[in-house]
Structure 1
Amino acid sequence: MKSGTTTESEDTLQWLQQQLEEMGDKEVCTLSSGEEQLSMVYLKSMTDPSLIQEQLVNRFYEMNSLEQYQQYMDSFPSIQQPQSKEEAIEALLKGSVVLFIREHIYLFNALKVQGSSVSEASTENVIQGPTDSFTEDIDINMNLIRRRYQSVDLKSEYMSIGKVSQTRIAIVYDTTRVDHAVLKELRERLGNIDADVIQAASEIERFSMKPRWRLFPTMMVSERPDRTVLNLSQGKIVVLMDTTGYAVLLPAIFNDFFTAMDDQIQLPPVGWFLKAIRYIGLLATLLLPALYVAFTSYNPEILKMQIALLIAGSRATVPYPSFMEVLFMLLAMEFLIEASVRLPKAIGPTATTVGGLILGTAATEAGLVSNIMIIIVAAVAISNFVIPVSMMSFGIRVTKYIFIGLATFFGLVGIVLGIIGLIVYLTSLRSFGQPYLKMFAIRKLTGEGK
């Protein structure tokens, strides 16, 4: 498109504006100096504003004529002139500024590269794959997403929530893959949030999802751009919030919280094995303490004789019922976990490790708890940590006490009733119309989404 008419240039500008119509981070501006003027189009989240101001805007007003400015643009070794509209928008999505100077169109590379401000992920670690995480700047987060998802179909809408805080948020989605009924419902829920201050991404779920009193999250909060981009490609919606380094992904179902990015990188059999390990960990952290109470207090005849005698021998010196023993050790473990979060990072791991070792050894030697109870508590703590998303692990930590209560009063029958009740409760939950226990909340790309 090195040569052409003014009409072609105007047509390209209008076409670009139509393609970027629903992108909240687009910028279309016109520079005028006397009778001379030019237009430029770019994405604010992908470009360096200081570079645009210094190299393009300031130079335009310093030049005596548009011919001199055009000669100045031709002097850049990296400047390009697109051969088609598609080439122009592809370059724009990669961080270029599209300049319209009379009948000519130029592509000026102004890509904003985020380096020092982007840190490694701290709560969702992977063995292989990208290690960067979101920041507290919503524009940088949009940059991290667009660099991985360079499609004109990726749209963004900006709005503010919180009566006092007026926190800026962005709704990001692929318009050809998203379920527009879910998108409409999300806009309504965000508009109806009645809160003075919103400062964390998880507060969006707290104030917008119903019922408010529930144990398990129905939106996923993630700090990983790669997980966010994967969910966008599956037709889900992402909500970015300024001042927080996390994104909200929706709709989210039960299976999503047990999926790690390693599952996408590993070979399929390895990924299936890793996910199976997490579900086994879920059963262990939920049922092991309750089963210990049921077998020692109500139903020891189900166990083999050797195991029953082993448990009875280890509890010979314990002066109180098994449920009190379980609660004592589990609460002590909860104290250690909470202390490890609240203590300064320099002393937190050391203090909690030493405290756990001393507590376990002293309690066993004093005859307050059995050796088997120490093993169970350690297994429960470790199995809870295999859940990749922390919001789900918190819900599981609370749920296991419900199972302990049922086992205390009803034994194995109570555990069975608890499992049935848990399944019924999970089945009743919905995440923007998606059944919580379905295996995949992925909307396939069809003609109806366009």
Structure 2
Amino acid sequence: MNSFIGKIKDAFQGNDDFFCKKQIICGESVFVIGLDSLVELDKTLGELKEYKEIEEIEQHGEELADIETAKTSLLEGKLLLARTSKDLAISLVPAPVSLNRSIESSSNENVVLGSAISFNEDIKLNIGLVRKNLKSQNLKVKTYEIGKQYKKEIALLYNQETVHSELLSKIQGQITKFLNQAELECIQDAYKMLGLKKWSFVTQINTTEIPDEALRAIRKGRVVLFIDRLSLALILPGVLRDMIFLYNDHNYPYPLMLSVRLLRIMGILLALIIPGLYVALVAVNPEVLRIEIALSVAQSREGVPYPAIIEILIMLLILELILEASIRLPSSIGPTITMVGGIILGQAVVEAKLVSNLLIIILAAATIANSTVVGFQNSISIRIFKYLIVFLASLYGILGILVGLFIICTYLASIETFGIPYLHFNLNKGEKSSG
């Protein structure tokens, strides 16, 4: 046994899935080396024994003389073929162990009309889904390996005819600087890699499981980023339209499409304004209401010991806990428990005179309106912004709501991602980059 094989065995000592077996292939004695958790050995050996000469097999592989390259090749799922007479190995693509789930429908994004398939954890399959649906020579794929100790493959997809060259060069420059700096495990690491703001209240990377949404983004001049073992497409840059528009909307007749999008805009405004409006009209500006409505509101709050701001903050906190619990509980019992818990809790706090009937209605309407926003991350942003408006409304009433909306609009207008304003709507090459 030569020193090359010995060094590989030493490197993988203690791994029970490592194998280094002596086999007779094409009449010659060779060592086959690999990881049986990644390689179907019996099937691969059957394919190799169909060759007549060992030289034919070597022509289909890659010659490796460096031990570090050989170790990396093994970890990528390759099979090494080593002769005792040579201090090197041949890297071959074996029959792999299937470690990927099949293409399934999306579990987090519902599609009413349109393709139901979704991305999964295999980066090559995800790229293939885009290639299959966007048959154009202008579609370009650029791959990188990120990380020091744990390598992670990523891929950039873009249309060279529609993408802004400045946007593309900035993204590629950030990735190149990050190549050997740290590991890439989650979307927060992607933010760090791309040099985006860590404390942004809105997502600067739009995420989707639906191939149609990624295809639409590529056609419109945006860049799609895939990370291996992450079943999402990251669309760069994230803009305000991602909260409102879906490519799937185009499957409706035009008037219906406009109506659906108008409903989403109304949902965003209602989710932001309604809780603050309750506090403003109850605690600061009751004179705005007609006398009949003011008396009805006062009667509903009769016996409630807390001021309106404390009352609504308590219920908002409980509602946030219910929403989080609905995500963490098993899907078979989660909806039932949260629905029953919400109904019983709401009825109990009203009967105990801790909150008013009107507040329960307000919070239910705000929660339903918040759910019309496209994307779970975007809905969380709306949930955070509404607290700002509630606090300002408790201090300044109706004026506080207007100030809160102004602050939010100013904040959104100040956000830029790779030089593209967050309020920008059209990223096609040649279009102005203003919002």
Alpha-carbon distance between aligned partners in 1 of 2:107 and 2:246, rounded to the nearest angstrom: 14
CA contact (8 A) 2:225 2:234 kept: yes
Deviations 1:333-366, CA, capped at 9 Å, x for gaps: 1000111111122221111111101100101111
Contact 2:106 2:209 in 1 (8 A): yes
Structure 2 residue aligned with 1:6: none
Q: Is the 8 A contact 2:225 2:235 kept in 1?
A: yes
> CA distance change for structure 1 residues 271 and 126 in 2, over 3 Å: closer, same or farther?
same
Q: Secondary structure at the match of 1:136?
A: coil
Residues 146-172 of structure 1: per-residue CA shift (max 9 Å, x gap)? 110111221111112233432110011
Q: 1:150 to 1:281 in 2, by over 3 A?
A: same
1:188 matched to which residue of 2?
173
Alpha-carbon distance in structure 2 between the residues aligned to 1:324 and 1:169? 47
**Aligned counterparts of 1:206 and 1:281: Cα–Cα separation in 2:** 32
Counterpart of 2:138 in structure 1: which amino acid?
A: D
* Residue correspondence of structure 1 range 207-218 to structure 2 within 5 A: 207-218=193-204
List per-residue Cα deviations over 1:224-261 (Å, max 9, x = no partner). 11110111111111100101100111122101221123
Partner Cα separation in structure 2 for residue 230 and residue 429 of structure 1: 23
Paired position in structure 2 for 1:427: 413
Indicate the RMSD between aligned Cα atoms, in angstroms: 2.6
Partner of 1:384: 370
CA shift, 1:62, in A, is 5.8
- What is the number of residues matched between the two proteins? 344
Q: Tell me how far apart the structure 2 counterparts of residues 445 and 399 of structure 1 sit (CA, whole Å).
A: 31
Q: Determine whether 1:168 maps to 2:153.
A: yes
Give the CA deviation at 1:61: 5.0
Distance 1:411 1:440, change over 3 A: same
Query: Does structure 2 retain, via aligned residues, the 8 Å contact 1:235–1:444?
Result: no
Query: What are the equivalent positions in structure 2 for 1:290-329 lying under 5 Å apart?
Result: 290-329=276-315
Q: Give matches, 1:260-299, under 5 Å.
A: 260-299=246-285
> In 2, distance between residues paired with 1:400 and 1:342?
24
- Check conservation: 1:340, 1:352, Cα contact below 8 A: yes
**Within the alignment, does 1:200 sit opposite 2:194 as a pair?**
no
Q: Deviations over 1:356-386 (max 9, x none)?
A: 0110010111111111100111111111111
Q: Residues 310, 254 of structure 1: CA spacing in aligned structure 2 closer, same or farther, 3 A cutoff?
A: same
* 1:192 counterpart SS class: helix
Q: Decide which of 133, 136, 146 is 2:118's aligned counterpart.
A: 133
In structure 2, relative to structure 1, the CA distance for the partners of 1:180 and 1:370 (3 Å cut) is same
Residues 358/176 of structure 1: CA separation in 2 closer, same or farther (3 Å cut): same
Alpha-carbon shift at residue 197 of structure 1 (Å): 3.4
Match of 1:351 among 330, 334, 337: 337
Q: Say which is worse superposed, 405-414 or 378-387, in terms of deviation.
A: 405-414
Q: Is the 8 A contact 2:280 2:397 kept in 1?
A: yes
Partner of 2:232: 246
1:394-425 deviation per Cα after TM superposition (whole angstroms, max 9, x unaligned)? 11111111111111222222211111111111
Superposition pairs for residues 87-102 of structure 1, below 5 Å?
A: none
- Which of 324, 331, 339 is 2:325 aligned to? 339
Query: What is the CA–CA distance in structure 2 between the aligned matches of 1:275 and 1:441, rounded to whole Å?
Result: 20
Q: Structure 1 residues 378, 129: closer, same or farther in 2, change over 3 A?
A: same
Amino acid at match of 2:315: M
Partner residue in 2 for 1:395: 381
Which is bigger in relative contact order (C-alpha 8 A, separation at least 6)? 1
Letter in 2 for 1:167: K
Q: Could you say if the C-alpha distance between residues 376 and 156 of structure 1 is closer, same or farther in structure 2, counting changes exceeding 3 Å?
A: same
Aligned residue among 229, 232, 238 for 2:215: 229
Structure-1 separation of matches of 2:243 and 2:147: 28
Task: Report the Cα offset of residue 201 of structure 1.
Answer: 3.8
Change (3 A) 1:274 1:443: farther
Give the equivalent residue in structure 2 for 1:155: 140
Unaligned segments of structure 2, at least 5 residues: 1-39, 54-99
Secondary structure of the structure 1 residue equivalent to 2:106: coil
Deviation at 1:60?
Answer: 9.8
Q: 1:349 to 1:161 in 2, by over 3 A?
A: same
- Quick one: which amino acid aligns to residue 116 of structure 2? T
SS in 1 for 2:426: coil
Conserved in 2, the CA contact under 8 Å of 1:199 and 1:243?
A: no
Residue type matched to 2:268 in 1?
A: L
Residue 111 of structure 1 corresponds to: none
How far apart are 1:202 and its partner, in Å? 5.4
For residues 41-190 of structure 1, the aligned pairs below 5 Å read 117-190=102-175
**Counterpart secondary structure, 2:104:** coil
- CA 389–158 in structure 1, closer or farther in 2 if over 3 Å, else same: same
Q: 1:408/1:334 Cα in 2 relative to 1: closer, same or farther (>3 Å)?
A: same
Asked whether the 8 Å contact 2:389–2:401 carries over to 1, the reply is yes
Superposition deviation, residue 59 in structure 1 = 11
| Matched-pair contact (CA < 8 Å) for 2:191–2:197 | no
**Cα 1:266/1:404, change in 2 over 3 Å:** same
Q: CA-to-partner distance for each residue in 1:53-93, whole Å, 9 max, x for gaps?
A: 99xx9799569xxxxxxxxxxxxxxxxxxxxxxxxxxxxxx
Q: Which residue of 2 aligns with 1:12?
A: none
TM-score if structure 1 supplies the norm length? Answer: 0.72
- Judge conservation of contact 2:275–2:390 (CA < 8 Å) in 1: yes
Q: Which residue of 2 aligns with 1:77?
A: none
Q: 1:252–1:441: 8 Å Cα contact kept in structure 2?
A: no
Q: Distance in 1 between matches of 2:359 and 2:300?
A: 9
Greater mean deviation of Cα atoms: 164-173 or 208-217: 208-217
The one-letter code of the counterpart of 1:360 is G
Q: Is the 8 A contact 2:196 2:417 kept in 1?
A: no
